Amino acid sequence: MSAYSYKRCTNRHSIGVSCCIIKMALKHVSLVKLNCRLVGNEVYKILSLRRTQDVHCIVLLMLPVSSAAPSDIEVFPDSRFTETQFIIFQVVKTILFCYVTHIMTVRPDGSATFLFAVYKRLCSFAWPTSGVHEAFGSVIKVYRSNSILGINHLSTHTITKAAEVPGYFSTYQHSPPTAADLTERSLSNPTMRKFYSQNRWSDVLEESISPYYNGEHDNVSHLARILETMGPTKARKVKHCILNGNLYIGFNRLNELDGQPVHRPRTENMRVAGSGSVCIYQVPVHPTLVRYLPHSMIDELQQAYFIEETCYTQIFMCFIQMAFTVYECVIDSGDRWFKIVLIVFMVMSFFQTLSAIILPTQVAAYSIHCLTEGERIDPLEYQSPNNAQSSSSGFLGCMPTILRKSFEERDTIAYDVLQKSAMDSGTISVVLGDHINNGISITSQPAGWWEAVVIVASTLTPFMIGFWAGYGINTLTEWLVVAWIGFSGFFTIIRVFLFDPNFMSNALVCFLFVILFVFPGLALVLASTITGYKLFIL
| pLDDT digit string, tens, across residues 56-82 | 444 344 444 444 444 444 444 445 667
385-438 pLDDT per residue, tens = 333 333 343 444 454 454 544 455 566 778 888 888 888 777 787 777 766 555
- Is 184 part of any domain? no
Number of independent structural domains in the chain: 3
Q: Is residue 21 part of a domain?
A: yes
Percent of the chain with pLDDT over 90: 30
The verdict on 299 and 317 lying in the same domain is: no
Does residue 149 fall inside a structural domain?
A: no
> Are both 243 and 380 inside the same structural domain?
yes
User: 405, 377, 379: which is closest to 392 by C-alpha?
Assistant: 405
Using CA atoms, how far apart are residues 60 and 67, in angstroms rounded to an integer?
A: 10
Q: What is the pLDDT of residue 336?
A: 86
In 230-302, DSSP assigns E strands to: 247-251, 272-273, 281-284
Q: Is residue 208 part of a domain?
A: no
Q: What is the pLDDT of residue 219?
A: 87
The distance from CA 391 to its chain's CA centroid, rounded to whole angstroms, is 23
pLDDT tens per residue across span 154-164: 543 433 333 34
Which distant-in-sequence residues (6+ apart) come within 8 Å of 21 by Cβ? 59, 67
Cα→Cα distances 336→24, 329, 481, Å: 43, 8, 10
Answer yes or no: do 521 and 481 share one domain.
Answer: yes
- Report the range of poorest mean pLDDT among 212-221, 291-300, 333-342: 212-221
Considering the domain architecture, whether residues 45 and 114 belong to the same structural domain is answered as: no
Kindly report the pTM of this predicted structure: 0.69
Of residues 26, 16, 35, 30, the one with CA closest to residue 59 = 26
Return the SS3 of 107: coil
The chain-wide mean pLDDT, for the chain, equals: 72
Angle CA(96)–CA(360)–CA(245) in degrees, nearest 5? 105
What pLDDT, on a 0 to 100 scale, did the predictor assign at position 163? 39
Based on the fold, state whether residues 287 and 330 are members of the same structural domain: no
**Residue 356 pLDDT greater than 90, yes or no:** yes
Does 396 share its domain with 276? yes
Residue 16 counted as domain residue: yes
Domain boundary among 67, 91, 116: 67
Q: Which of 437, 456, 481 is the last residue of a domain?
A: 437
Which of 390, 418, 437 corresponds to the end of one domain? 437
Q: How confident is the model at residue 30 (pLDDT cuts 50, 70, 90)?
A: very low
DSSP H or E stretch at residue 136? helix 132-143
Per-residue model confidence as pLDDT tens digits over 423-459: 877 778 777 776 655 555 667 788 788 888 999 999 9
Domain assignment present for 229: yes
Q: Answer yes or no: do 274 and 319 share one domain.
A: no
Q: Is residue 315 part of a domain?
A: yes
Local confidence band at 233 (pLDDT 50, 70, 90 cut-offs) = very high
pLDDT at 220 over 80: yes
Q: Does a structural domain hold residue 176?
A: no
pLDDT at 342 (0 to 100): 93
462 plus 474 within the same structural domain: yes
Confidence of residue 354 (pLDDT cuts 50, 70, 90): very high
Domain that holds residue 389: 215-309+363-437
374 and 288: one domain? yes
Query: How confident is the model over 505-530, as pLDDT tens digits?
Result: 567 777 888 888 899 999 999 999 99
The residue with greater pLDDT, 314 or 446, is: 314
Max alpha carbon distance in the chain (Å)? 134
Which carries the bigger pLDDT value, residue 95 or residue 500?
Answer: 95
pLDDT of residue 296: 92
**Whether 201 contacts 384, CB under 8 Å:** yes
What is the Cα–Cα distance from 104 to 314, expressed in whole angstroms?
Answer: 7
Q: Is residue 224 over pLDDT 50? A: yes
Tell me: do 349 and 378 sit in the same domain. Answer: no
What's CA 353's distance to the chain center, in Å? 11
Query: Do 289 and 326 reside in the same domain of the chain?
Result: no
Does the pLDDT value for residue 491 go beyond 80?
yes
Residues 299 and 377 in one domain: yes
